[in-house]
Structure 1
Amino acid sequence: MRTSSITLGLATWLFGAAAMAADCGGVDQACEVPMGSYHIAMPEGVDGAVPAVIFLHGAGGTGAREISNDAMRNGLLSRGYALIAPNGMGREGRGGGFWSFIPGREILRDENAFLDEVAADAAQKFGVDRDRIVLSGFSIGGSMTSYAACAQPDQFSAYAPVAGSFWRPHPAECTGPVRLLHTHGWTDGTVPLEGRPLRGGAINQGDVFHGMSIWRAANGCDAWKADRFEMTESFWHRRWVNCNEGTALEFVLFPGGHGVPRGWSQMMLDWYEGL
Structure 2
Amino acid sequence: MAGLRARTTALSLAVLAVAGLGWAGRAEAGCGADISGACEVAQGSYHIALPGGAEGTSGAGETMPAVVFLHGYGGSGAGSLNNRRLVHGLTARGYAVIAPDALPRRDGPRSWNFFPGWEGRDEVAFLQGVAEDAASRFDLDRKAMILAGFSAGGFMVNYLACAAPDAFAGYAPIAGGFWRPQPAGCAGEIRLFHSHGWADSVVPLEGRFLGGGRFQQGDIFAGLELWRDTNHCEEYAPDRRWQQGDVLRRRWDCGPGADIEFLLFPEGHRVPDWWPGTVLDWFETPLRGAG
Q: TM-score, normalised by structure 1?
A: 0.89
Instruction: State the alpha-carbon separation in 1 of the partners of residues 277 and 34 from structure 2.
Output: 27
* 1:143 corresponds to: 155
Instruction: State the alpha-carbon separation in 2 of the partners of residues 111 and 201 from structure 1.
Output: 25
1:127-150 deviation line (CA, Å, top 9, x unaligned) = 111010000000010000000100
* 2:42 corresponds to: 34
* 1:261 corresponds to: 272
**How far apart are residue 93 of structure 1 and its match?**
4.5
1:81 aligns with 2:95: yes
Give the conservation status (yes or no) of the 8 Å contact 2:238–2:251: yes
Give the conservation status (yes or no) of the 8 Å contact 2:247–2:263: yes
* 1:69 corresponds to: 83
Misfit runs of 4+, over 6 Å = none
Give the conservation status (yes or no) of the 8 Å contact 2:143–2:168: yes
Change (3 A) 1:200 1:92: closer
Give the conservation status (yes or no) of the 8 Å contact 1:25–1:40: no
* 2:19 corresponds to: none
Give the conservation status (yes or no) of the 8 Å contact 1:237–1:253: yes
**How far apart are residue 90 of structure 1 and its match?**
2.0
Aligned to 1:94, the other structure's residue is in SS state coil
Unaligned regions of 5+ residues in structure 2, if any? Answer: 1-25, 55-59, 287-291
Higher RCO, Cα 8 Å, sep 6+: 2
* 1:181 corresponds to: 193
Q: When the two structures are aligned, how many residues end up with a matched partner? A: 255
* 1:11 corresponds to: none
Give the conservation status (yes or no) of the 8 Å contact 1:50–1:129: yes
Instruction: State the alpha-carbon separation in 1 of the partners of residues 202 and 118 from structure 2.
Output: 23
1:98 aligns with 2:111: yes
**How far apart are residue 15 of structure 1 and its match?**
4.1
Task: Work out which of the residue numbers 246, 266, 273 in structure 1 matches 2:257.
Answer: 246
1:141-169 deviation line (CA, Å, top 9, x unaligned) = 00000001000110000000000000000
1:48-77 deviation line (CA, Å, top 9, x unaligned) = 101000000000000000011101110001
Identity of aligned residues (%): 49
What one-letter code is carried by the residue in structure 1 that aligns with 2:92? Answer: S
Give the conservation status (yes or no) of the 8 Å contact 1:24–1:31: no
Give the conservation status (yes or no) of the 8 Å contact 2:174–2:196: yes
1:213-248 deviation line (CA, Å, top 9, x unaligned) = 00000110111121201100142111112x212111
* 2:72 corresponds to: 58
1:57-106 deviation line (CA, Å, top 9, x unaligned) = 000000000011101110001000000000001245434x1101224x42
